[in-house]
Amino acid sequence: MSPTFAPPTSEAIPLIAVASEDLDATLKSVPKATSAWLAANGFKAAMGAVCMVPDGNGGFGEAFVGLGPQGQTRHRFVLAAGAAKLPGGVYHLKSDLSGPALDEAALGLLLSSYRFDRYKSQPAAAASFVAPAGVDAQRVEAIAAGECLTRDLINTPASDMGPQELSDAAETLAQTHGATFSMIEGDDLLAQNLPLIHTVGRASSRAPRLIDMTWGSTGPKLTLVGKGVVFDTGGLNLKPGASMGLMKKDMGGAANVLGLAHMIMALNVPVQLRVLIPAVENSVDGSAFRPGDVLTSRKGPTVEINNTDAEGRLVLADALALAEEGKPDHIVSMATLTGAARVAVGPDLAPFYTTDHAMARALPQAAAEVADPVWQMPFHDPYEAMIEPQIADLDNAPAGGFAGSITAALFLRRFVTDTPYTHFDIYGWNPVAAPARPKGGACQGARALLAALPDVLGL
């Protein structure tokens, strides 16, 4: 369940955030007994440090949380580092924060209480928080709910998150917001000219499908396309076991666009939203597609298969072609597409490519304001030759290993020829726990996109 703010109550425990530089001033401003207690417990206001001050009646009168040095740039959501350690109870933040810093702190408080406990026999209790004064609580809660939806979907193992379950999650989201939901499944994909989606998913016992959700009747048209490979064995180019361990997260693009869709719909952003998700399992049986096969896409270009483990761009190609047929004002795709992107920028940054100058300007600025880091990568035209094989129009896995994320993005761009287009090559996973971001599924780029939409679409 998504964390929400607690109702205001006089019994809420004051939560006092202290930066290292302000510790001396804080010690002088509090009662001597409190100052002595903090000193006796070695509270130095380091990031994540917590000191609970007793109230003399068997409870807690105050909670002090350290923020570390002011102006540090190594961490986001520094308040959440300590908030996650608080004992169960309701807390009320006392601080001088304002603007984006206050919004970040409020979101961090909610996300600090996120737990993926679906498979725990005894779920751990978490603290809850009253909405800080000056915060748009409804907006922060909607964003937190989108983040938590994304995390839950990615964290769920493939045994319980196949194409059907991913489709069910999208349909539930559609019902929640009064959106329209439809789906094309199995051999109907061929009948409706979605051959690449069918080809990638046909070897699994769980039928492939194309999920289609629409919402809103006025405003600019925005289409989100998310890679929904619920598990990726690599196909006949079978991954080694160590590389398969995290492949439940290969539907991270789909999870991220569903989280973003929730934010957009819950906040009534004035757009005509469409969400397209090709949901498949890249598996192995006698019907699996093979290295050397040449496939024909929905849009028409043929694709030579040089690696069946480069399947994400195939299913996205058909979905992108379908997306453009709806004549949207902007198309955004999100996918856990290449290891090359991780080598380039690591797991924390969300690299993006765009053909739209407005997006290129607005997105990095918005990302900085909402603590959702992104990094622009180039659609480098001279590399187009690398995705052009000898016997087909396109190569799904160029040899040589150079510029793997860029060539994948160039491949996708071939299927969006007349519409402003932005592509995210995300990781979708936190390999190490960080403030407000436990180890596991990650929402990346969604909050930045949400904040950038007004400038990009003229809202």
> For residue 274, what are the β-bridge partners?
214, 223
Let me know if domain 13-125 sits in CATH 3.40.220.10.
yes
Residue 239 designated active-site: yes
180-237 pLDDT per residue, tens = 999 999 999 999 999 999 999 999 999 999 999 999 999 999 999 999 999 999 999 9
Q: pTM of the full predicted structure?
A: 0.97
> For residues 202 and 271, is the Cβ–Cβ distance under 8 A?
no
Domain 141-457, second-level architecture? 3-Layer(aba) Sandwich (3.40)
Residue ranges of the domains in the chain? 13-125, 141-457
On whether the CB atoms of residues 181 and 224 are closer than 8 A, the answer is: no
Q: Splitting the chain (459 residues) into consecutive groups of 10 residues, what average pLDDT does each group show?
A: 88 95 95 96 97 93 95 90 95 91 96 93 88 96 98 98 98 98 98 98 98 98 98 98 96 98 98 99 98 98 98 98 98 98 97 98 98 98 95 95 96 98 98 96 98 98
Check 44, 85, 139, 239 and give the catalytic one: 239
Residue of 76, 248, 298, 313 with catalytic role: 313
Tell me whether residue 290 is one of the annotated catalytic residues.
no
The pLDDT tens digits of the residues spanning 256-277 come to 999 999 999 999 999 999 999 9
The pLDDT tens digits of the residues spanning 414-455 come to 999 999 999 999 999 999 999 999 999 999 999 999 999 999
